[in-house]
Amino acid sequence: MIDTHCHLLPGLDDGPRTPEESLDLAESLVRDGIDRVLCTPHYSAQFPTSHAEAADRLRELTPALERAGLATVLAAEVSPGHAVSAPLEELRARAIGGRYLLVEVLRDTPAAFFGSVFARLEEISLVPVFGHPERCRALQRSGRLADRILRDGGLLQVVAPSLIGRFGEEA
């Protein structure tokens, strides 16, 4: 199984603080049947994670992760603000396989945001993957918005805690 949205790297964002905590998380993931992880440190105003620093943290941790049975790839979870304003080269560097970009969706993300992201990413031939859209009120109010995102070629990435009710019935 693949975890496609994981804050595994230590000391970068709201994920593990230390390499030991990262390894504890990795071992937990493996016990749950996950053998591949897409490391997605936040790239936002709150967490202006340098992609080079994230790559260094992953490189340092990789031997231990592999011993634990976990293969990893680096990307990022890009905040709404950065998705529409960061230099395109910065976004491209954080893409998944050079094709997809994980874009964070917040509770108050407006419906118009999605079209703006499509237009921006089209410039660099990236497909948006909207992370945890189930928490967004605009999407909760209108199933048509989700249909439009999918019809336009975007992807929606629902997170497991939402499926088990951690974020309320609306999510």
Average pLDDT across the chain, whole number:
93
Q: State the CATH class of domain 80-171.
A: alpha beta
Which tens digit of pLDDT belongs to each residue from 126-166? 999 999 999 999 999 988 999 999 999 999 998 776 666 67
36: closest CA among 96, 98, 93, 83?
96
pLDDT mean over 98-103 = 97
Which tens digit of pLDDT belongs to each residue from 68-91? 999 999 999 999 999 999 999 999
Q: What are phi and psi of 87, to 5 degrees?
A: -55, 140
Tell me what pLDDT residue 21 has. Answer: 97
For residue 147, the tally of other CB atoms under 10 A from its CB is: 10
Q: For the chain, what are the domain ranges? A: 1-74, 80-171
